[in-house]
Chain A
Amino acid sequence: MNWADTILQGILLGGLYALFAAGLSLVFGIMRLVNLAHGDLIVLAAYLILVLVDTLHLNPFVALVIAMPIMFGVGWLLQAYVLNRTLGPDILPPLLVTFGLSVVLQNGLLQAYSADSRRIPSGYLDTASISIGSLHAGVMPLLTFVSAVAVILILNRLLYATELGRAFRATSDDAVTAGLMGIQPHRTFAIATGIAMTIVAVAALYLGTRSNFDPTIGPARLIYAFEAVIMGGLGSLWGTLIGGIILGMAQTIGGAINPEWQILAGHIAFVLVLLFRPRGFFPRAVD
């Protein structure tokens, strides 16, 4: 086994998991809402990009540019008309509703696109790679990682250097007092979920171009996203990237030792982090 290469592949895979997780982390951070349909929404976005590529014969990256505002709208509407009504002191309604949404999305996609596995074709990028010495990295995995870092940079900038970001953090701290400042919490939440779904579209592009997908793979992506968020520490976006990288490395190292262990190794790493760092690596100072 080439250790350096395995670790590099693991880090790059971590970028994909960080993309899965960033939207989940944003939504949980702002409104303490656990969206159990997050994985299925990634799959939905992957089908949306696939349809755009197939019917309009677009380059997948151009399709992404179209899919992002559409997914923003999906997120906005979902939050404004469904999820906002579930928020309250009781944590059960949002879990039940998003679980139901997950079932509806999976079955809706099955109905519309059958259970066949699909893949978003990305032309020569499918196989393009760059070599540095003995290290080889696919262009798509590299782009995934660069996108993850870019998404987290932009999100951090949004949260810590804009008026909207201040409103997000204030609403997360105390929605009643935020209302006294003129912030409408429900509208703020709708924008936040819209942004999360825009990130979901980016994640979907890389999910769909790197591997096959079908309508039922959403829940597994949700679990990877959860593991990345929790290992990184709730509320920290850079932590989410680190969590994703740990998960990715554990899976590739496990897979390099024995392909059967790939998925299991990721979950074992997660359990170990929970045992020794139950709050994750970079928990937010203020809880």
Chain B
Amino acid sequence: MALLETHGLTAFYRDFQALFGVDVSLDAGETLAIVGANGAGKSTLMRSISGVLINGARQILFEGRPIGALAAPQVMALGIAMVPEGRKLFPSLSVEENLLIGRYGRTTKGPWSLETVYRLFPILKERRNNPGTALSGGQQQMVAIGRALMSNPRVLLCDELSLGLAPVVIRDIYAAFPAIRESGASIVVVEQDIGQAMKIADRLYCMMEGRVTLSGRPSELNRAAIHAAYFGADS
């Protein structure tokens, strides 16, 4: 049984339908990448799983349990944490407080604590007392990842980590992923950069216009097929 799966997932923003029956599955310990152009529905998929958007209960299963209709705090309580698109740090909170809020109300034991997050991203320890939003974009992204890890999640959802960041900074951030995998978390990353996605993922889903157009292991997929699934054009 997959750890997390979606079955015919549909999602709407009022009258606008953003997802048309998406089937995705994540096994324990696996890292998935979801790629696609702007508006393909990647972020909507993340928002649906994390409970920001409410869907049909049985459209999303976590260990076989229907969670599609749960709101974000309940989903988080099950062990699914999200790094939201655009980082969304809390401006009134310092770096350290932003990290601490990630484990709000949780008593779960696990590998992640302030100490281990600071070991993963040492620069954050130096800047622990700065307001979260006073940091550079890359450092803010580190805080957002650390904040999600503080809950010791079983599934870590990362929405557009590289948005607006320089390639060298993106490389630094993805350098942290082997350690996160070793800690036992299963990971879903949404990424526009196909090269980056193929480097870190065990499996890859390509989305276009609210549907999955291609999926498989990076070694089995060739660039031309991904290109076609990504842009919808035979090129």
A94 to B158, CA, bound (A): 36
A174 to B92, CA, bound (A): 10
Q: What is the CB-to-nearest-CB distance from A176 to chain B, in angstroms, rounded to a whole number?
A: 6
Cβ B104 vs Cβ A179 within 8 A:
no
Point out the residues of chain A lying under 8 angstroms from B76, CB to CB: 179-182
Q: How many residues of A contact B (CB 8 A)?
A: 18
Q: Which of A166, A173, A184 contacts B91 (CB 8 A)?
A: A173
B180 within 8 A of A: no
Q: Which of B92, B104, B147 contacts A183 (CB 8 A)?
A: B104
Majority SS of interface residues in chain A? helix
Point out the residues of chain A lying under 8 angstroms from B72, CB to CB: 176, 179-180, 182
Produce 1/0 per residue, A266-287, CB < 8 A to B.
0000000000000000000010
A280 to B203, CA, bound (A): 56
Produce 1/0 per residue, A163-205, CB < 8 A to B.
1001101101110111111111000000000000000000000
Cβ A181 vs Cβ B147 within 8 A:
yes
Cβ A172 vs Cβ B92 within 8 A:
yes
Point out the residues of chain A lying under 8 angstroms from B131, CB to CB: 286
Say whether, besides A169-B93, A170-B93, A182-B151, A177 and B84 are in contact (CB < 8 Å): yes
Count of A-B contacts judged by CB separation below 8 Å? 68
Say whether, besides A180-B72, A182-B73, A169 and B92 are in contact (CB < 8 Å): yes
Produce 1/0 per residue, B129-144, CB < 8 A to A.
0010100000000000
A223 to B40, CA, bound (A): 52
Point out the residues of chain A lying under 8 angstroms from B52, CB to CB: 176, 179-180
Cβ B88 vs Cβ A174 within 8 A:
yes
Known A-B contacts: A182-B151, A183-B104. Give 12 more (CB < 8 A): A163-B100, A166-B100, A167-B101, A169-B93, A179-B52, A179-B72, A181-B76, A181-B104, A181-B147, A182-B76, A182-B77, A183-B101
A-B contact pairs, 5 of them (CB 8 A): A170-B92, A172-B92, A181-B147, A182-B76, A286-B131
